[in-house]
Chain A
Amino acid sequence: MMLSRAARPALRAGVAAASARPATLSTPNAATYATLREIEGRLKSIRNIEKITKTMKIVASTKLTRAQKAMTESRSYGQTSNAVFENAETKALEGEDKKTLIVICSSDKGLCGGIHSGMSRRTRALLAESPNTDLVVIGEKCKAQLGRSNGKNMQLSFAGIGKDVPTFADAAAIADQITLLPTDYSSIQIMYNKFLNAQSYEPVIVEAFSEEAIKESANFAAFEIDDEILPSLREYALANALYWGLAEGHACEQSARRNAMDNASKNAGDMINKFQILFNRTRQAVITGELVEIITGAAASEEG
């Protein structure tokens, strides 16, 4: 999309130059050869861009298979952990004085369509509802977007994610750092892009509950959990949920990048076709012009 939009004025300039050519027929050689060469140069650069986007698409496709595998594996982590809270019927504590923390799972890399800004937009909508919410952002992209508009709410930001498939060690380290935060949050919401299918994603939220919320849950007695193990369970549940979110977000990102690069290659192909036709026509016009000149010249000299 972006590539085609950026290059479109150039296309128009090319067309304009071609149509303006008969007007500057007094110096035909200088004008036509310049436009021909211009079109050739532009064609070459678009071909290069197409090559690059195609390669990026192939890279993203290869990474996508691995990312999807990691996603399906990580789902079992998150769902098993969630099953405990579902059976215990845990609910987030309702209280005015307690703060909420939103953890946003984005990544460091761009060139993958609007999946990062989709999450930023959702976060901003949530913040507009309850401004007293803190943010933890994983990944440079959302950090840059949210740091500008909601810098006051930011507590922590993490970078270095998204180079490879996220590991559980990543999630555990992030979870530890979040538990070290001084404020006591009533609920921690983890936002990530849910992988609906290869074309669509949507930012969704999973909850990681606080110790009190787990203790208050309706069916808590079903599990024989000692008070001392409770913080451990909470930390581990947070790490599980984070791992799930990171892995699924990663898969979405790769898939979005694949699509974005696919579209970019397609657009580049379209442009190459258009420029090729323009190039051929211009060349033909130059040749015809030259022929006309030679013939008229010859005819004039014969008569004389």
Chain B
Amino acid sequence: MAFAWKAAGLTYNRYVSVASRVVRRSLKEDKRIAAERRGESDLRFAKWENGKQGENKNLNAANESAIAEQASQ
């Protein structure tokens, strides 16, 4: 069983988050605002090498570029 999203380089978590975003956006106005707050994520991350912290990057942007990279391979 092959999945289209898997072939496109998405991880399952990414797939789930996209799906849940769609569901949240299709809710009624009053419920939607409360629900959309549960989908927010604003994290930064840094890679460490040899005991030194690397550059701080936005996590979601990095995830998207990683997916794009995997898809192009």
Contacts and interface: CB of A to CB of B under 8 A. Distances in A.
Interface of A: 143, 147, 151-152, 154-161, 167-170, 172-177, 179-180, 226, 228-229, 231-233, 235-236, 239
A147 B45 CA distance: 14
B50 interface: yes
Interface string B7-25: 0000111101100100000
B32 interface: no
B13 A239 contact: yes
Contacts of A169: 17, 38-41
A156 B45 CA distance: 7
A235 B41 contact: no
Nearest to A138: B43
Given A151-B48, A173-B63, A232 B12 contact: yes
Contacts, number: 98
B64 to A, nearest CB: 10
Contact of A236 (B13, B20, B43, B60): B13
A41 B59 CA distance: 48
Contact of A170 (B20, B37, B43, B62): B43
Nearest to B70: A180
Interface of B: 1-3, 6, 11-14, 16-17, 20, 37-48, 50-53, 56, 59-60, 62-63, 66
Given A147-B51, A158-B43, 4 more contacts: A157-B53, A177-B63, A180-B66, A235-B11
A233 B50 CA distance: 32
B47 A161 contact: no
Contacts of B12: 231-233, 235-236
Nearest to A150: B51
